[in-house]
Amino acid sequence: MTWHALPTPCAVVDHDALQNNLREMASVASLNGKALRPHAKTHKCVEIARMQRELGARGITVAKLGEAEVFAEAGFDDILIANLIVGADKLARLANLAGRADITVGLDSNEVLDGLARCARQARRPIGVYIEVDTGHHRTGVRSISDAECLARRCRALPGLDIRGVYTHEGHVYKAAPDRIEEACRLAADTMAEYAAACGVQAVSVGSTPGARYMASMPTVTELRPGNYVFHDGTQVRLGASPAACALTVTATVIATPSEGEAFVDAGSKALSGDRDSHGNYGFMLGESSIVVDWCSEEHGHLDLSQCPGCLRIGDRVRIVPAHACTCVNCHDRLHILEGESQVDTWPVAARGRLT
């Protein structure tokens, strides 16, 4: 079956582009002496995580406890949950999970630490801890060295917890101009080095796709956690990635052409996700980046054909590179794997919907 015959809308992955992306990042990490712990929240797919492991990934990163449970069940035994675990129900699940895999979790407050301490008393082996640092994204993470030092000291005094390093998500680089990303990464790496020294740890873990190449060259960084690199997307292209590296697309059918300058496809926000790139678009057409999805409703996507009037007709199939691959994948139950024009496999998005 070729991609033209797939039911639409559906998520498709170019296998060759995927492999190239995986190999390239593995090479970046290896040549710079960094551990690679890719973030599986992007693909949520066991098959892709196995490919990453075969190429030398040290372990995997996930965003949620539910994702960690899926990958542990699939045999992954070195998992970082790059998030804060709060609530008795989640802590009970964490204690159970720690008995099946080597788990590391995030920490940025005494309240979270108190819960982890209770959890560690129930777990059958130590739970690893990374102290999260806010290096400019202004999400979670400690914002003073003194707070980090206090957490590290308390963590070492509590049985069942193993403080292993510091980590950050330098997500603010997404807002930087392409020629300022390196500077933002250097500042974040310098900050992390200060926190690592204050906490008495060696592991310095950083995570973003646009920053990965720059972070790999920083001597104080020890671990890279990029996620989006497996697929790339419209946002990465705006930051300098090649459209040829975009491995994930959504196949859609043209269902209406109200005028020569526009068309509608059967892929809206429930297939592409509601995220937009920095230009406000939901995606662009593979092979013709001037054709963008400039607005969506739930089941309809509007294509701007002003640069090529009348180029699409009702019934045409198109492949759309989403603005944000991570949230797009979470809209789909499966990934259709292509080699050239042909579908060669179907992989379940096993961790889809694991939001707790």
Residues 340 and 20: their CA atoms lie apart, in Å, by 14
> Please, is 355 exposed, middle or buried when counting C-beta atoms within 10 Å of its C-beta (0-12, 13-18, 19+)?
exposed
198 shares its domain with 86: yes
> Which structure tokens are listed for 337?
């794997």
Residue 334 confidence class, pLDDT cut points 50, 70, 90: very high
pLDDT in tens, 271-293: 999 999 999 999 999 999 999 99
Provide the pLDDT for residue 192.
98
Percent of the chain at pLDDT > 90 equals 98
Rg (CA), the chain: 21
pLDDT in tens, 36-65: 999 999 999 999 999 999 999 999 999 999
113 shares its domain with 65: yes
223 shares its domain with 343: no
> Which structure tokens are listed for 306?
């002003």
Sequence-distant (≥ 6) Cβ neighbours of residue 210 within 8 angstroms: 173, 174, 181, 236, 239, 240
Q: How many structural domains are present in the chain?
A: 2
Q: Is 110 part of any domain?
A: yes
Q: Is 188 part of any domain?
A: yes
166 shares its domain with 218: yes
pTM for the model stands at 0.97
40 shares its domain with 95: yes
216 shares its domain with 247: no
pLDDT in tens, 7-43: 999 999 999 999 999 999 999 999 999 999 999 999 9
Residue 81 confidence class, pLDDT cut points 50, 70, 90: very high
CATH number of the domain to which 105 belongs: 3.20.20.10
Q: Which domain holds residue 327?
A: 3-11+237-348
Q: Is 353 part of any domain?
A: no
Q: What angle do CA 263, 334, 284 make, to 5 degrees?
A: 30
Residues 298 and 303: their CA atoms lie apart, in Å, by 14
Residue 102 confidence class, pLDDT cut points 50, 70, 90: very high
N- to C-terminal Cα distance for the chain?
A: 37
If one counts every other C-beta atom within 10 angstroms of the C-beta of residue 336, the result is 20
pLDDT in tens, 113-159: 999 999 999 998 999 999 999 999 999 999 999 999 999 999 999 99
Average pLDDT score over the chain: 97
Residues 76 and 69: their CA atoms lie apart, in Å, by 9
